Amino acid sequence: MEFRLLGSIDAYAGGRRLELGPRKRRYVLAALLLDLNRPVPVERLIDAVWEGDPPDSARMTVQGHVYRLRRVLEGTRVETGPSGYVLRADPERVDALRFQRLVDGSAGQGDEAGADLLEEALRLWQGPALGGSGGGKTLEVAAVALEETRLRAVEELARRRLRLGRPERVLPQLRAIVTAAPHQERLVSLLMTALYRVGRQAEALELYERTRRLLAEQLGVDPGHELRATFESLLAARTAGS
List, in order, residues 6 or more apart from 55 with CB less than 8 Å away. Answer: 61
**DSSP state for residue 94 in the 8-state scheme:** B
CATH code given to domain 1-164: 1.10.10.10
Name the average pLDDT for the chain: 93
148-181 tens-digit pLDDT? 999 999 999 999 999 999 999 999 989 999 998 8
CA distance 234 to 46: 52
What are the two backbone dihedrals, phi and then psi, of residue 107, each rounded to the nearest 5 degrees? -65, -30
For residue 188, give the nearest of 167, 203, 174 by alpha carbon.
174
Contact 18, 76 (CB under 8 A): no
CA distance 146 to 113: 22
Q: Is 113 a residue whose pLDDT tops 80?
A: yes
Do the two domains 1-164 and 166-242 of this chain adopt the same fold? no
Residue 242: pLDDT band with limits 50, 70, 90 = low
Q: Is 73 a residue whose pLDDT tops 80?
A: yes
* Residue ranges per structural domain of the chain: 1-164, 166-242
Most confident of 82-86, 130-134, 221-225: 221-225
Superfamily designation of domain 166-242: Tetratricopeptide repeat domain (1.25.40.10)
**DSSP state for residue 127 in the 8-state scheme:** S
